[in-house]
Structure 1
Amino acid sequence: MIIEIAVLYVKLGQENQFESYFKLASQYISAISGYISHQLLKCLEQENKYILRVHWQNLEDYTIGFRQSPQYAKWKELLHHYYEPFPVVEHYQEINLT
């Protein structure tokens, strides 16, 4: 499993509208093969800061399956204009410590 992390800074004053559009956009990411789950976390100290965490079966499910899909175009249209600056998206894998 791969965990995608993106720190999102939403333009000040647009947080409620962003959250509403994010709910709508969630249908597009969840329709992708290899998608497992996602969470949007809101920072308590900084009202316009969020963390998006997405679980994928593998990296290609994101890089090819999602980013090259018609669903991504809809996701982008709904959400990308809210970000300032544009987020860095990184992917992680769990390390077995036992």
Structure 2
Amino acid sequence: MILETAILDIKPGQTAAFEAAFAEAQPIIASMPGYISHQLQQCVEKDHRYLLLVHWERLADHTEGFRQSAGYQQWKALLHHFYDPFPEVEHYRRVVESPPP
């Protein structure tokens, strides 16, 4: 499993519009082959900053499957104009996990 991370800095005064657009965009990413789950979290200290976490089965499911899809073009049209600066996306693989409580 691969974890995609992106810190999304949203242009001033546009957080509500971004959240509405993200709600519209969620089904797009969720329908992609290899998609497992996602979370969007808002920063407590900087309310214009969000953390996007997406779990994929394989790296290529994101970098090739999603990014080369027609769905990505819809995602891009809905969301990319909110970012300043454009986010850096990174991918992680699990090394250690704590046992359940």
TM-score, length-scaled by structure 1? 0.97
- Which runs of 5 or more structure 2 residues have no equivalent in the other structure? none
Q: CA RMSD in A?
A: 1.2
Size of the alignment, in residue pairs? 98
- Which runs of 5 or more structure 1 residues have no equivalent in the other structure? none
TM-score, length-scaled by structure 2? 0.94
Work out whether 1:13 is the aligned partner of 2:22.
no
Runs (4+) of structure 1 exceeding 4 A deviation are none
Letter in 1 for 2:10: V
| Alignment match, 1:4 | 4
Shift of 1:96: 3.8
Shift of 1:46: 0.4
| Alignment match, 1:83 | 83
The equivalences for 1:1-98 within 5 A come to 1-96=1-96
Q: Equivalents in 2 of 1:53, 1:97: separation in Å?
A: 17
Shift of 1:22: 0.2
Letter in 1 for 2:42: K
Percent identity (aligned) = 51
Q: Equivalents in 2 of 1:5, 1:96: separation in Å?
A: 17
Change (3 A) 1:33 1:82: same
